[in-house]
Structure 1
Amino acid sequence: MLAWLLVLASGILASTNGESYHEDLVLRPLPKNKLLSSFRFVAEQRDPQLASGELTEYTTFPRSLGQIMSRASTHELHLRFSQGWWDAESWGVPPANGTYAGGVGVEMWAWVAGEDLADAQANWHRLAHSLSGFFCASLNFLDQTVTTHLESDALPRSGDSSDENLYLLRGALPAEPVCTENLTPFIKLLPCKSRAGIASLLDGHQLFDSQWQTMSVDVDHIGDRLRLTQVVSNVIDVPHMQRRRRDPLPRPEPYADLICKEREWSADYICLPDDPRSANWVISEIFDKELAPACPLAGDGPHVFVEASDNWTVKVGGNVTSGSVSFSLGSEPVDLVLSSEDGLVVLENKVPDVFVDRSFTGYGQQSGGLRTVFTNPHDVEVSLVYIENLPWYMRLYLHTMSGDLDIVEDISYTSAEDRTRPSKVQLHIRLPPLSQSSIEYKFDKSLLYIEEYPPDANHGFEVPPALALTSTGYSTRTTSLLLSLAVPDFSMPYNVIILTCTTMAMFLGSFVNLIVKKVVPEPLGEKILVESSLKRRIQAFKTKLIGN
């Protein structure tokens, strides 16, 4: 009870100081029985660091995050935790036009203040180490070897970009796993945590059992105000999750329950399983809990939006509606049911502005190539910025760039330095309508010191996803790549040690044997053996036996 009184008091203080907090949840059925859920939390207040002559405290904006940014002289921060792959061809455009989506692993970029680039990089280093402990992630590995300096206008900003002392720095860790340890501090930034509102549905077991999921933290400066935007989006395979709930063990479906695709070659003993057509999705079964009462700070606007076609029936409490619906959370928990006789029929997805596909070319352990294909599915021209950060052990040769170079309007290139900085390629591209273009360049593979290889060196080295940003605000990432480098025989030192120790043991053993033992003539040795007490006892025992 005391906790809720404190939350209510904070809400009154926030409203008097002009602070605001809002949260909303979007649920959207996708093709092939997938469900997209997108949670968004927006907190805004006056920046206490910029308040002059007024008593301003942190209310809706978390104090811990504000102090980290202030200590690291960070003006704007964007952080992404992502796993899985967004199927743009089937699912269309990601939530919010891809603004809050990230590449596989962890990605961070920020506008950091500094007297020069070296000072800004020191602040970036301080920011990464602070956020590493804050979010329980390996952000401390975002050092200068994986961080690039971009032009200030390379990525969109929400605030004023006229400050010349701000530097845009960006880094990514594609091999970083995302798990519940990252979700827990994310939830702690919310005013009501996970005890109320739509955040009550956030659970690591359901969130990370998804085909695609992303968490984002964005801190923007808008004048003298701070705005924190937190977004969690995921795509759930509902039939798969329902099967897991019925039986945790992966058992085959009974033949009577199989839905088979009709084909010309179909027979009684041949079944190609098809997706179930009817759908009955209960939110409390998918997320393992109902929607809790509204957070007192969340305002009176709609909190939940369901985007569905007219063949879908949405049941909220006792109200039944067809198609899209929105509603606000009240003072009681509420459950939500989505049902349809033909769940494969969903709203038409918006076609992305561009499709970007990247892959390796070539073979061998010395060199290779990188090929990127851009597809414009629209009948209008598309302008985009393509940014690619490659690790320093990929020695890129820009003069080998080939393909449809007529689509490239401008090139910004920064070469890599061994063990110091990665290479950066920034292309301004204009794609003709209904076209497919490709760009390719070559690179050499560097040799690493033995201590620079990770424990799973034979697995390969992760190459960060590339970023494509169109002029309309659509943002997309390519998949990460797995680079195979020449790996030394790590077992050779152990083989040499074992062989050397064996040889030395044989030599020293024989040498010590010669030193310790006394060498005598053979007749004298036999005489000594006969006179020995043990030999004498054995001989006496034999004589006694023969005599008896």
Structure 2
Amino acid sequence: MRRASVWIFLASLCAPSFALYRGENYREDLRIQPLRDGRVSTTFSFVTVLESAVPRNPKALGQLDESQHYALFPLTLGQILREYAITELHLTLNAGRWNYDNWGHPHEAGVGTGAELWAWMGASEVTTVDERWSGLRNALSGLFCASLGSLDSRRTLSPTVAFPLSGSTPTFAPHELRHASLPSENVCTENLTPFLKLLPCKSYAGLASLLNPQKVFDADWHGMGIHVIWKEDTGVELKLTLQAVFNPVRTSAGKRRDWNLQLLFDRSIERSCPVASSSSITVILPEHKDYQIIPEYPAHVDGLAIYDLSSSSNFTIPSNIAMSWPSEHSFQYPLPPLIPVTPLSVKRTIHGTTQTRGVLSVSVTNNSPQEILAGYLEMMPALLTLWMHTMKVEINSQIRSMTYGHKKIVFANYIVYLGDLLSGLKYHPPSPQSNDRLSPSMLQAVLTIPPKTTLKISMEVNKAFLKYTEHPPDAMRGWDLPGAVFFPLPQSSHNTSSNDDWERIYTPTLLVDLPTPDFSMPYNVIILSCTLVTLIFGSIFNLLTRKWVVVEIQE
């Protein structure tokens, strides 16, 4: 009897007590989508909501903050948000290049290569936004083991039009945006480990138990994101996402696109997360009906197969979810030309014959039968200088004549109106700072792209000549430039363009070759000097230490 009571007591301790998590809600979801090129896109989403919570007022930073009690919300991240009074935060770490034409839009829009961090913060007289931005970067750098401390004033801008507030707007103070990116940042297991520690069940239960680092980082594309949004009617929402694009055709011996959870992650879900209010796996079914999915339960709803894995569900956790194409002997890649999945296709290059000058070209193709109004954003470090008077606009390979209208200068911001295709162009040139560094330049424009046409923008650039102390150890590799951003603009009442079926688009990063000093000269001097010293010292030392004797040779 006593032994039974002990087991009941231990079971009551292990069982989830939802009264303990009152005011907090946690849910998780996995979306799996087979792609037309044989790859499989997976998106993990872990959402924790602090109900009725509000961001900290930045005007009260000098006062003692009220006590915060978290049961499901990660304490380490919550302390950073309260310490620097962050209203909205977005951090993404990605590796690889997202193929919009074949993969479509991702479930999470932030797929820029490298690290991207942007945050909305309220203004305050206690501490400035730039001071809190510096503290936020360093705190997140230590939390996620990333080089976010390098996102200083040389990479920080405020493109408010391209990155608006995703949630509600607080009224306690005017808000400012800080955005920075580091395209050369790599993503590895050191970033995934602290990411998993932010989850209530870590990687011991639930969907997170599938995250095998060896499989995730072997994918063709992978990235993770941390998003904190405040919604007035809900509270503070923390959304942790991890996306990966696998290639089962490459890893299979028979060149087949069949996949299952065990094949993709080399792991299975043993038990559900007990504190998750909802846990599900959603498989987006292909348009063609020649596939087979196992298990077949539940019924397909609107092209989706949803498997409920929550502890409160009567549905048992499937040992392995699999999809196969029995009629296919081997996967045949679709032959070009392929119709792009997204309405916009973007190509961006930089070319030139010298190390001092070049041409930046951006080509945007509208694949839809309707006119598209798109915002265009370039954020260039001070390594490159854009010459706006050399800008050319081509439509279907025909140069469009541009007449520069009214031009005015307001705080070194050049605003030029270029007609119907390119309008509202704003350019912020690099400006010197107190620490003898230049801030990045920012170019914003509104593009009107006619249906089934290609719009090309080109302009000349100057490459900076850096000091020899500013070059990285591998100076011959070049410098990584962040990708451009294309984003939909809100429709006006008189605008008939189509902006509802596409999201923010990131172009791939560029590698620029800057004028490099002759680093071989010191090497040659050192080699020559060492050679001469060796010859002279060796000869003198040989003469001083050698003993000369007469050797008689007998016949």
Pick from 41, 53, 76 the counterpart of residue 64 of structure 1.
76
Please list the CA deviations of residues 429-458 of structure 1 after superposition, one character each: whole Å capped at 9, or x if unmatched.
Answer: 222222211111111111111111111111
Match of 1:242 in 2: 252
Q: Which consecutive unaligned segments of at least 5 residues does structure 1 have?
A: 244-256, 258-274, 518-528
Q: Is the 8 A contact 2:30 2:280 kept in 1?
A: no
Pick from 270, 285, 288 the counterpart of residue 266 of structure 2.
288
Q: CA deviation at 1:330?
A: 5.2
Q: Is the 8 A contact 2:40 2:245 kept in 1?
A: yes
Name whichever of 28-37 and 216-225 sits farther off.
216-225
Q: Distance in 1 between matches of 2:126 and 2:242?
A: 33
Q: Distance in 2 between matches of 1:443 and 1:495?
A: 33
Q: CA deviation at 1:493?
A: 1.3
Report 1:467-486 matches (<5 A).
467-471=485-489, 472=500, 474-486=503-515
Q: Is the 8 A contact 2:123 2:173 kept in 1?
A: no
Match of 1:83 in 2: 95
Q: Distance in 2 between matches of 1:430 and 1:102?
A: 24
Match of 2:484 in 1: 466
Report 1:215-254 matches (<5 A).
215-223=224-232, 225-243=235-253
The answer on 1:390 being equivalent to 2:400 is: no
Change in CA separation of 1:165 and 1:53 when aligned onto 2, cut-off 3 Å? closer
Q: CA deviation at 1:371?
A: 0.8
Report 1:509-520 matches (<5 A).
none
Give the match's secondary structure for 2:250: helix
Match of 1:316 in 2: 295
Amino acid at match of 1:83: A
Q: CA deviation at 1:300?
A: 4.3
Please list the CA deviations of residues 8-27 of structure 1 after superposition, one character each: whole Å capped at 9, or x if unmatched.
Answer: 5564322x32x211111111
The answer on 1:107 being equivalent to 2:116 is: yes
Give the match's secondary structure for 2:525: helix
Q: CA deviation at 1:487?
A: 1.7
Amino acid at match of 2:72: T
Match of 2:393 in 1: 403
Q: Distance in 2 between matches of 1:511 and 1:497?
A: 21
Please list the CA deviations of residues 162-195 of structure 1 after superposition, one character each: whole Å capped at 9, or x if unmatched.
Answer: 6654221111111111111111111111111111
Report 1:480-499 matches (<5 A).
480-499=509-528
The answer on 1:160 being equivalent to 2:169 is: yes
Match of 1:138 in 2: 147
Q: Distance in 2 between matches of 1:56 and 1:301?
A: 27
Q: Is the 8 A contact 2:348 2:362 kept in 1?
A: yes
Pick from 472, 497, 504 the counterpart of residue 454 of structure 1.
472
Report 1:126-275 matches (<5 A).
126-151=135-160, 154-160=163-169, 165-223=174-232, 225-243=235-253
Match of 2:19 in 1: 12
Name whichever of 491-500 and 502-511 sits farther off.
502-511
The answer on 1:359 being equivalent to 2:369 is: no
Name whichever of 464-473 and 61-70 sits farther off.
464-473
Q: Distance in 2 between matches of 1:484 and 1:53?
A: 49
Name whichever of 199-208 and 156-165 sits farther off.
156-165
Please list the CA deviations of residues 100-142 of structure 1 after superposition, one character each: whole Å capped at 9, or x if unmatched.
Answer: x321111111113344899222211111111111111111111
Larger gyration radius, structure 1 or structure 2: 1
Give the match's secondary structure for 2:47: strand
Change in CA separation of 1:184 and 1:506 when aligned onto 2, cut-off 3 Å? closer
Q: Is the 8 A contact 1:385 1:470 kept in 2?
A: yes
Q: Is the 8 A contact 2:162 2:377 kept in 1?
A: no
Change in CA separation of 1:511 and 1:284 when aligned onto 2, cut-off 3 Å? closer
Match of 1:21 in 2: 26
Amino acid at match of 1:415: P
Q: Distance in 2 between matches of 1:43 and 1:289?
A: 24
Please list the CA deviations of residues 14-57 of structure 1 after superposition, one character each: whole Å capped at 9, or x if unmatched.
Answer: 2x32x211111111111132111111111100437659999751
Give the match's secondary structure for 1:443: strand
Q: CA deviation at 1:76?
A: 0.9
Q: Distance in 1 between matches of 2:296 and 2:327?
A: 23
Name whichever of 445-454 and 408-417 sits farther off.
408-417
Give the match's secondary structure for 2:192: helix
Q: CA deviation at 1:467?
A: 1.1
Change in CA separation of 1:362 and 1:505 when aligned onto 2, cut-off 3 Å? closer
Give the match's secondary structure for 1:89: helix
Match of 1:248 in 2: none
Which protein has the bigger helix share?
1
Q: CA deviation at 1:303?
A: 4.1
Q: CA deviation at 1:497?
A: 3.1
Change in CA separation of 1:427 and 1:509 when aligned onto 2, cut-off 3 Å? same
Match of 1:35 in 2: 40
Match of 2:405 in 1: none
Match of 2:61 in 1: none
Match of 1:327 in 2: 307
Match of 1:123 in 2: 132
Give the match's secondary structure for 2:390: strand
Q: Distance in 2 between matches of 1:38 and 1:3?
A: 36
Amino acid at match of 1:136: C
Amino acid at match of 2:99: D
Pick from 373, 381, 386 the counterpart of residue 363 of structure 2.
373
Q: CA deviation at 1:202?
A: 1.0
Change in CA separation of 1:447 and 1:72 when aligned onto 2, cut-off 3 Å? same
Q: CA deviation at 1:225?
A: 2.0
Give the match's secondary structure for 2:78: helix
Q: How many residues align?
A: 487
Q: Which consecutive unaligned segments of at least 5 residues does structure 2 have?
A: 1-6, 58-63, 395-417, 490-499
Give the match's secondary structure for 1:144: coil
Match of 1:432 in 2: 450
Q: Distance in 2 between matches of 1:387 and 1:182?
A: 28
Change in CA separation of 1:201 and 1:349 when aligned onto 2, cut-off 3 Å? farther
- TM-score after normalising by structure 2: 0.78
Give the match's secondary structure for 2:224: strand
Amino acid at match of 2:450: P
Please list the CA deviations of residues 43-94 of structure 1 after superposition, one character each: whole Å capped at 9, or x if unmatched.
Answer: 1004376599997511222111111122223221101111122222222222
Give the match's secondary structure for 2:387: strand
Amino acid at match of 1:493: P
- TM-score after normalising by structure 1: 0.79
Please list the CA deviations of residues 351-386 of structure 1 after superposition, one character each: whole Å capped at 9, or x if unmatched.
Answer: 323222111132211101111111111122212221
The answer on 1:414 being equivalent to 2:428 is: yes
Pick from 271, 275, 286 the counterpart of residue 297 of structure 1.
275
Change in CA separation of 1:361 and 1:73 when aligned onto 2, cut-off 3 Å? same
Q: CA deviation at 1:512?
A: 9.9
* Percentage identity across paired residues of the two chains: 31
Q: Is the 8 A contact 1:113 1:165 kept in 2?
A: yes
